[in-house]
Structure 1
Amino acid sequence: MPPMPKLISLYTGVGGLDFGFEAAGFQTAVALERDSACCSTLRLNRNWRVIEGDIHSVSSDEILSVAGLGVGDADVLIGGPPCQPFSKSGYWATGDAKRLADPRADTLTAYLRVLRDAQPKAFLLENVSGLAYRGKDEGLGRILDGVEEINKATGARYRPRWQVLSAAAYGVPQIRERVFIVAARDGTEFKFPAATHGPEARHGKPFRTAWDALGDLPQQRKDPDLRMGGKWAELLPSVPEGENYLWHTNRGGGIPLFGWRTRYWNFLLKLAKDRPSWTIQAQPGSATGPFHWTSRRLAADELCRLQTFPDGLQFDRGRNDVQRMLGNAVPSLLAEVLAREIATQLLRRPRTNSPLKLLPADRGAPPIPERVRTVPKKFHPLVADHADHPGEGKGNGARLRLARAA
């Protein structure tokens, strides 16, 4: 039996990519991560060699030495440089994002530096889909140009191929988009796998749902940390599963407490048993969903399931840290799918037809939706003929930005 292919992991976070590659038969030779909570969690759950530090302060030689690898020995280099400069939320918050002018974009350059120095047989780089937005794709251009410079300097023949993938289209019970860039040192062209789930899949497998992910876990939890806090906590039970605050607008089925599209999308957002989850947030506010259909916050094991992490992970940090770590992660099933293709296409390993290890079970039709509660009287003074949001670029935030620029 050939030895397990070894990978170097950068910006490892809590291990979303690594767990997927692990499920596909890879071994993490070294993981580099600066966040102490993530490093603590990695050490608690795996015996990988973890370098805790800022990539800008860790040399490529040290990374290779800790991994026990020489130049060219690593089978794959993986990593997801911090994505804030390219995220859609960045555009929402400021009207645009600095992108390459943001110092955090230097993480792309650091990834390229390790790629140049380690020269792995293949690499995978992951980021938010905003990295490839048309007209805002300087980050993608930097990566592609950087790889070409590496080829000229080292004699490698990396031919990067990139694609925005929807996690739900590959069996992840969560709507989440990420861009992936993959290439092989010998110039072999990587072909991204076709979608396997949802209406666009060739064989028409249905999406895996939140019920598929969570149906065998306890529905009622007594943990006080899972209670929704804040001024809107008592309103959440009046929102049906699969709905958000829009239920309580003049276009919804509730009572008009808010104007149409005057709040952020995941305000009072609740999971539906018969659909995939919406994207798990890393730093949600008290009223930011998705919430469980029983009107509470999601527990650590539930967040892990929606991210298709392996069962049995332990955490020694508080719930906010757990939410942040898991919300920033890549769904591990999506990484498993790509790792299998990298092993077959680029490393020329035999293709396996065994079931994906991290694919949630199909639990069939879910139970009926939870009963919707009436709106508490304390919220009745909010009932009014609220105006809709005036349209893109015309809201309060847009007006404030124009005023600042004037």
Structure 2
Amino acid sequence: MNNIYTAISLFSGAGGMDVGFKDAGVSIVWANELDKNASDTYEANHPEIILRRGDINESLHELHNYKGTDIIFGGPPCQGFSVAGKMDPDDERSKLIWTYLDVVKIIQPKAFVLENVKALGTLAKWKEVRDEFLKVANNLGYICYPIVLNSSDFGVPQKRERVFFIALKKDTFNYENIIQKINSHRKPSKSIRKTISHLGPAGTENNPLTCTSKITFASKPVMRKSPYAGMMFNGAGRPLNLDGVSNTLPASMGGNKTPIIDEEFLFNPNANNWILNYHKDLVEGNIQPRFGEAPSRLRRLTINEAALIQSFPENYIFRGSKSSIYRQIGNAVPCLLAEVVAKAVIKELDEI
């Protein structure tokens, strides 16, 4: 990297994307976040950055002072586009991608990066929205590409697919260039076991027990080929494959949607894999589904573990209630993935 680039962070949340951009060498000068607890978290970890709390529309006038900042990045709330939600184009949160472009129009950065759910980048349902976004970006002077990335391809122990709309002002910018730069950072992810086991058992000093939602057996389990899919337990929280990577951590964690850990197997790889064996016995018809509470060796993912799976630094400070912190973590862009995208954009700017 030959230059220090400045950036504005929009819809900053707890600051996961900001960690990645800072680690890539970007100097963030201004940020905005609506949620109080996420704002408290952001300020606790990024005290040097000017953070404007509240609706971004109320701060647009101030952004004229930052015209010419090099990069804008951020992930507008995605519930309106998410297949896990109502997929409502009239959802107020769906309209924030246009507010994002309002900021681009004011600042006129060299580049911008907008992150959102995969559906916005791929589903036919959102083709008109996608095309209009690219058209508006083009009218503002940018070449923009929607690129779907899976965080597990870049060292994050989580299968999390998201679309990144990456745009630069220069005509020399093309899809092959940016893809090549992103792919140069591909690397295997650590397993869940290697990511979290050093924290110690849930309930100890470095790993407080933060979710006490009971784990109970489903009387009519929904079976899948994998023991880590389907629904063998009540609620949407599924067991994690300790020797693999996690599925996408949802913002709805904190109760019975929180993923499940086999603690005995976590700290002793030679122990029996209880989840695997229970699944096998059910599939083969060796046993009937159990009733009541699951064995005590099964418990919910903690906040500290969830943060590491999202690739937050281990010393990252979170503010708010437990449910709010789980939500902040689930809503975040994995820090390592954000860093990869930032490095690719920086390299492209350097070459230009």
TM-score interval, smaller chain: 0.7 to 0.9
**Separation (CA, whole Å) in 2 of partners of 1:115 and 1:79:** 11
**Separation (CA, whole Å) in 2 of partners of 1:298 and 1:250:** 22
Q: Give the aligned residue type for 1:296.
A: R
Per the TM alignment, residue 228 of structure 1 is displaced from its structure 2 partner at its CA by 2.3
Per the TM alignment, residue 296 of structure 1 is displaced from its structure 2 partner at its CA by 2.2
Kindly name which structure, 1 or 2, has the bigger radius of gyration based on alpha carbons. Answer: 1
Compute the TM-score of the two structures, normalised by the length of structure 2. 0.79
Match of 2:37 in 1: 37
Q: Give the aligned residue type for 2:53.
A: E
1:217 to 188, 191, 199: 199
**Separation (CA, whole Å) in 2 of partners of 1:37 and 1:312:** 18
CA contact (8 A) 2:155 2:190 kept: yes
**Separation (CA, whole Å) in 2 of partners of 1:174 and 1:253:** 16
Match of 1:329 in 2: 332
CA contact (8 A) 1:75 1:347 kept: no
**Separation (CA, whole Å) in 2 of partners of 1:196 and 1:265:** 41
Match of 1:10 in 2: 10
Ranges in structure 1 where 5+ consecutive residues have no aligned partner: 152-157, 236-244, 255-259, 350-406
Higher relative contact order (CA 8 A, sep 6+): 2
Match of 2:71 in 1: 76
CA, structure 1 residues 253+320, in 2 after alignment: closer, same or farther (shift >3 Å)? closer
Match of 2:124 in 1: 135
Compute the TM-score of the two structures, normalised by the length of structure 1. 0.69
Q: Give the aligned residue type for 1:216.
A: H
Q: Which has the higher strand share?
A: 2
Per the TM alignment, residue 173 of structure 1 is displaced from its structure 2 partner at its CA by 0.3
Q: Give the aligned residue type for 1:147.
A: A
Match of 1:361 in 2: none
**Separation (CA, whole Å) in 1 of partners of 2:99 and 2:134:** 14
2:110 to 107, 121, 142: 121
Ranges in structure 2 where 5+ consecutive residues have no aligned partner: 264-297
Cα deviation digits, residues 209-268 of structure 1 (max 9, x gap) = 212321321123254533223xxx244xxxxxxxxx6994577899xxxxx968999734
CA contact (8 A) 1:20 1:334 kept: yes
Match of 2:88 in 1: 98
Match of 2:99 in 1: 110
CA, structure 1 residues 221+171, in 2 after alignment: closer, same or farther (shift >3 Å)? same
**Separation (CA, whole Å) in 1 of partners of 2:125 and 2:236:** 27
Give the paired residue count: 308
Match of 2:247 in 1: 278
Q: SS of 2:84's equivalent?
A: helix
Match of 2:171 in 1: 187
Match of 1:340 in 2: 343
Per the TM alignment, residue 342 of structure 1 is displaced from its structure 2 partner at its CA by 0.9
Q: Give the aligned residue type for 1:302.
A: E
CA contact (8 A) 1:159 1:188 kept: no
CA, structure 1 residues 149+167, in 2 after alignment: closer, same or farther (shift >3 Å)? same
1:208 to 162, 166, 190: 190
Cα deviation digits, residues 70-111 of structure 1 (max 9, x gap) = x22x11100111101110112xxx5xx222x22222201110
Identity %: 31
CA contact (8 A) 1:169 1:196 kept: no
Match of 1:46 in 2: 46
Match of 2:26 in 1: 26
